[in-house]
Structure 1
Amino acid sequence: MVAVFNKELLSWYLITLKLRETVESGIPRTSTGTNKSLDLTEDQSDHQLHKQQHVPSDSLQVITINEDDENPEKAAVPQESEWIISIKEKLDQARQDDAAGSWARLSIYRVPHYLREGDIKAYVPQIVSLGPYHHGKRRLRQMDPHKWRSLHRVLKRTNQEIQLYLDSMKELEEKTRACYEGTITLSSNEFVEMLVLDGCFILELFQGAAVGFERLGYSRNDPVFAMRGSMHAIHRDMIMLENQIPLFVLDKLLGIQLGEPDHKGKVARLAIRFFDPLMPTDEPLSKSDMNRLGSSLGHTNTFDPFSDLGGLHCLDVFRRSLLRSGPKPIPRVWLKKRSNAIRVADKRRQQLIHCVSELREAGIKFKKRKTDRFWDIKFKDGILRIPRLLIHDGTKSLFLNLISFEQCHIDCSNDITSYVIFMDNLINSHEDVAYLHYFGIIEHWLGSDAEVADLFNRLCQEVVFDINNSYLSHLSEDVNRYYNNRWNTWRAALKHRYFNNPWAIISLFAAFILLLLTFAQTFYGIYGYYRPPS
């Protein structure tokens, strides 16, 4: 009996050693078909051993879990699963976006970073925020009380309830959100409140500029709703690409105010009147146009030349008004098409034309063209006729936002970009600006001609532009052909050297007469030598 007892004690001791080696090594044991009986025996023995030591039966299980956590291979399993799940969620979101086509209605964009690097103040509002992109920023909150004043004035003047405006904007919320790029973090109530508040504020400015703010009930010394110095800064903020409200929202709000829910086009006409001071020409709207725009607030059937403009938002409306009246030349393809595939714009080919100084050397003349369409440039018989362009402190921001819109919106032409790049090619130095200013083509309110040259040279630094898609490509090709003609260059050099002033002309004429007299004297001298008088 003693021997048997010692044999059992020896087996318990060997099993305990085996378990200790397994735990210390940290290597999990596998249960195969050949080791099932051994594993079962070890588990039973381990249970009995812990029971003898007054340890809970699940203590071995706890130790095993802790050891597994220290194993890097097993610890990485749940982390890898979460990673894969997150990737699948992103792919699922991409599939939903692709299926929904959420960018089909996209029209109000965030300015790309490669364009912002030039001058960020030209794209970011400084006084008033409109829309969700800059909503709630601390430095722009000072205009919020004036927005609420405008909304109160609208409700008081129309004798309507705020719920009517909130409900109408609630119906347009989904459609409006689709107009903005990226995710809008505002809640549904915040977004609807912003549309009503900002939309009514815009409409009060538009109507006040058309019929007078005093007729709308504002005081003549109102800090905002009066034609004061701050109005110029408000103009500039409201024309920025990131600071827009969709036009159909404004149409809806104005229709509620006027009792014409289905009326469209009136906001576009009011916007043209409001943004007229930003026009890059010194030709304001005529009195007849002013009267037509002003009468559009009433219920008249007066013919309106701007009634068919349409537009996506105020910036688009303003751009359409700049490019109104008449067709433009069809672009000419400079490069031979190897296929009918859509080409990618080549940054190496953005030079449309030579600068003013070089064109003058080829005999090309510059004259001012009398028209309010600043983009309508003509070239004929060596004369480049360019309409007058007025440059002020808001011109830079205006052109930059127009160019950004043309760069971002796929259904938008590049007419403004073509014009700016054309002028950038013409102007390389302050001498070029001075020459164009002398002929009345450029009028500016900046400090010097050098600032104007720097303005144009910086406007399109990062812009991707296809010269084959420019309405000025045909004209530029004609100018370059004239420039490359050597006879024109020689004739221009002769005129520049000998016919640039009256004294040079007199000197040349005297030299020519002297040359003729010398030739005649030589001829008669030789003639008298060979044929002396009889």
Structure 2
Amino acid sequence: MLTSLTSNFDERQWVKQIRQTLDEELDEETETPVTIFAVPKTLFITCPDSYIPQQVAIGPYHHLRAELYDMERYKVAAAKRNQRELNNLRLQDIVDHLIKFEVRIRACYHRPVSLGGEALAWLLAVDTSFLLEFFEVCGVKKGKTLTKLPSRLAHLVDLSGNKIAHDAILTDIVMLENQVPLFVLRMVLECQFSSLDLADEVLLDMLMELSREVSPFEMAEAAGRRKIEVKDCAHLLDFLYRFIVPVEEDVASETIEIHDDEDGDTEGLKNKNSFAEPSHLRLFLAEVWRILSKLKAGPVGWIKTLVLSKPVRVFVKLPWTILSKIPVIKLLKEPVEHIFNAYQKENKEKTDDQESSSSTSKKNRLPLLEEIKIPSVTQLSEVGVQFVPIHEGITSIRFDAKTLTFYIPVINLDVYSEVVLRNLVAYEACSASGPLVLTRYVELMNGIIDTDLDAKFLCGRGIIINHLKSEGEVAELWNGMSQSIRLTKVPSLDQLIGDVNKFYDGRWKVKFGKFMRRYVYGSWRILTLLAAIMLLLLTILQAFCQVYTCSRILPIKGLDPALNRR
């Protein structure tokens, strides 16, 4: 297999490795897709601790970390126990069997695995034994165990789920970089049972119980019984993702890019580009201007020079800027502006080409997961929206515009919930070819939760079951998950967001508030300047009237001292 190159480059050894790798991969009947990814740097830098195991290393990525060596003795003990349960087999036999699948195993990992074939097989055999024993011990509280042999892991797993080590291990084994291929677990279990089908049934029962415990979402029993084929799952995190987000084969998706925009007012953008739509008037004016622009002699040239002179252009532009809000004048403003825009467009073709190339490079940048445009929980509650908890998973989230009811799935939040959510989102972004449903859900929660008041409101409605210290930490959790590597349109959630915005923007209370913010609060500098100018003019007028008699023109006592003495 390929290894990292050193400073002492050996050409013959490199050629030998290339030939060996090509021969091995050609022997494979089918291509194995990458399923165990390295966390993208865009996500990793936001919260590194959420992607690095703190208690136990599973798989080759974090195997050599010294701070995780304490769990090695538990893993070796689990391997000894697993060897007793094998039917006339030893762990060495499983290792020999795994070596035959070395190419397939390595193909599952995104980053190259530096371990040799035998070392990798032993690593997976030991880690798999540890996982299976951990699953069994966790199943004690449900009365579901495969054997009655004592386990050294028993003291790490609290039946009430209160021990820190128990939760830490649960969190570590669902991290994206801390996975082993699920077909390896199936191979080991097949050695313990009579058939692969029986092994799959036992493994499915283990993973379902584990997913119910790890998943932050509270789902009804019917929702948690959805059929998941173990043979279709790549690893434990993939199974958990399918448990939370049902796989929909026929859902279309569209990848979109987010561009920075200083003006977030979508209504203003629509008004700005309203005249860009094709119309008979616009086409007529464009054609007339195209003909006239070619004529430079005679009266036409003189008229053209006069119309495009700076004084006339200033005279025309200033009134339109001030009076553009009046509907009648707005109809006349757009055709006139179109004429001047056409003239300016002819003189700036080179500049436009440069800007076009610049914008093209900007499109290629990775988009930020910006907070979506949707009112917060507090804002929606003020206009009569009711929030109702549901136990049907994130795919059932919906908004009923008739009853003004927002249905949101119940979610448990504790110190480990953020880790689980972040790794699920990272895996979805790396592997999913369809809509990023979970990512869009996180966006939605990030959008409706702005402050601790929003979090407190949802906690009071039973939508968020808070095990953190305060509602402020809940708000920080959602607002902290603000980075992504790509976005897609999810039809159901996008329709929900559109319906919520349409309802909220249609309220008279909201319209009046926007009007005040835009034309009153947003213009306080202009109003202050006008007030200062008015005060200055009144002061000048008063000084003038103190020198000259203004009683004939303005019989105001405050301006004429003579009138004040009467």
Q: TM-score under structure 2 normalisation?
A: 0.60
Whole-Å separation in 2 of the counterparts to 1:219 and 1:104? 35
Aligned to 1:170: 99
Whole-Å separation in 2 of the counterparts to 1:475 and 1:420? 14
Deviation at 1:209, TM superposition (A): 2.7
Aligned to 1:297: none
Aligned to 1:181: 110
One of 178, 196, 216 as aligned partner of 1:280: 216
Aligned residue runs from structure 1 range 446-525, under 5 A: 446-459=468-481, 461-469=482-490, 471-487=492-508, 489=510
Q: 1:319-338 deviations in whole A, cap 9, x for unaligned? A: 11112499998779999xxx
Aligned to 1:236: 171
Deviation at 1:245, TM superposition (A): 0.6
Over 3 Å counting, the alpha-carbon distance change for 1:470 and 1:180 in structure 2 is farther
Q: Is the 8 A contact 2:86 2:192 kept in 1?
A: yes
SS at 1:223 equivalent: helix
Q: Is the 8 A contact 2:437 2:490 kept in 1?
A: no
Whole-Å separation in 2 of the counterparts to 1:221 and 1:119? 29
Letter in 2 for 1:120: P
Aligned to 2:67: 139
Aligned to 1:151: 79
Aligned to 2:237: 315
Over 3 Å counting, the alpha-carbon distance change for 1:351 and 1:171 in structure 2 is same
1:397 corresponds to 2:333: no
Deviation at 1:241, TM superposition (A): 0.4
Aligned residue runs from structure 1 range 6-85, under 5 A: none
Over 3 Å counting, the alpha-carbon distance change for 1:473 and 1:212 in structure 2 is same
Whole-Å separation in 2 of the counterparts to 1:262 and 1:470? 37
Deviation at 1:248, TM superposition (A): 1.0
One of 420, 436, 440 as aligned partner of 2:462: 440
Q: 1:269-318 deviations in whole A, cap 9, x for unaligned? A: 411212322221345758x98xxxxxxxxxxxxxx743436311100101
Over 3 Å counting, the alpha-carbon distance change for 1:396 and 1:226 in structure 2 is closer
Over 3 Å counting, the alpha-carbon distance change for 1:352 and 1:250 in structure 2 is farther
Letter in 2 for 1:418: R
Q: Is the 8 A contact 2:179 2:236 kept in 1?
A: yes
Over 3 Å counting, the alpha-carbon distance change for 1:251 and 1:451 in structure 2 is same
Q: Which has the larger radius of gyration?
A: 1
Over 3 Å counting, the alpha-carbon distance change for 1:429 and 1:235 in structure 2 is same
Between stretches 397-406 and 483-492, larger displacement belongs to 483-492
Q: TM-score under structure 1 normalisation?
A: 0.63
Over 3 Å counting, the alpha-carbon distance change for 1:424 and 1:470 in structure 2 is farther
Deviation at 1:386, TM superposition (A): 1.3
Deviation at 1:455, TM superposition (A): 0.6
Please report the RMSD computed on the Cα atoms of aligned residues, expressed in angstroms: 3.9
Whole-Å separation in 2 of the counterparts to 1:192 and 1:183? 15
SS at 1:384 equivalent: strand
Q: 1:421-446 deviations in whole A, cap 9, x for unaligned? A: 11000111111111222222222111
Larger RCO of the pair (alpha carbons < 8 Å, separation 6+): 2
Aligned residue runs from structure 1 range 97-496, under 5 A: 105-159=33-87, 160-210=89-139, 211-212=143-144, 215-218=147-150, 222-224=154-156, 227=159, 229=163, 230-261=165-196, 265-266=200-201, 267-282=203-218, 305-308=226-229, 310-324=232-246, 346-347=367-368, 351-361=372-382, 363-381=383-401, 382-411=404-433, 413-459=435-481, 461-469=482-490, 471-487=492-508, 489=510
Over 3 Å counting, the alpha-carbon distance change for 1:219 and 1:133 in structure 2 is closer
Deviation at 1:221, TM superposition (A): 8.3
Aligned to 2:354: none
Whole-Å separation in 2 of the counterparts to 1:428 and 1:196? 47
Letter in 1 for 2:485: V
Deviation at 1:397, TM superposition (A): 0.1
Q: Which ranges in structure 2 are unaligned for 5 or more consecutive residues? A: 1-7, 258-362, 515-566
Over 3 Å counting, the alpha-carbon distance change for 1:431 and 1:331 in structure 2 is farther
SS at 1:472 equivalent: helix
Letter in 2 for 1:273: E
Whole-Å separation in 2 of the counterparts to 1:448 and 1:466? 31
Q: 1:435-473 deviations in whole A, cap 9, x for unaligned? A: 2222222221111111111111111x2213435246411
Q: Is the 8 A contact 1:364 1:384 kept in 2?
A: no
SS at 2:62 equivalent: coil
Deviation at 1:153, TM superposition (A): 1.1
Q: Give the count of matched residue pairs.
A: 384
Over 3 Å counting, the alpha-carbon distance change for 1:225 and 1:389 in structure 2 is closer
Q: Which ranges in structure 1 are unaligned for 5 or more consecutive residues? A: 1-81, 290-303, 336-342, 494-534
Over 3 Å counting, the alpha-carbon distance change for 1:170 and 1:140 in structure 2 is same
Whole-Å separation in 1 of the counterparts to 2:491 and 2:441? 9
Over 3 Å counting, the alpha-carbon distance change for 1:423 and 1:327 in structure 2 is farther
Between stretches 435-444 and 321-330, larger displacement belongs to 321-330
Q: 1:142-178 deviations in whole A, cap 9, x for unaligned? A: 1111111111112213342223211221122110110
Q: Is the 8 A contact 2:389 2:462 kept in 1?
A: no
Over 3 Å counting, the alpha-carbon distance change for 1:444 and 1:225 in structure 2 is closer
Deviation at 1:246, TM superposition (A): 0.7
Whole-Å separation in 2 of the counterparts to 1:249 and 1:487? 61
Letter in 2 for 1:107: T
Deviation at 1:396, TM superposition (A): 0.4
Whole-Å separation in 1 of the counterparts to 2:458 and 2:392? 17
Q: Is the 8 A contact 2:175 2:237 kept in 1?
A: yes
Q: Percent identity?
A: 24
Whole-Å separation in 2 of the counterparts to 1:214 and 1:469? 42
Over 3 Å counting, the alpha-carbon distance change for 1:400 and 1:181 in structure 2 is same
Whole-Å separation in 2 of the counterparts to 1:323 and 1:348? 20
Q: 1:45-94 deviations in whole A, cap 9, x for unaligned? A: xxxxxxxxxxxxxxxxxxxxxxxxxxxxxxxxxxxxx99x89x98xx99x
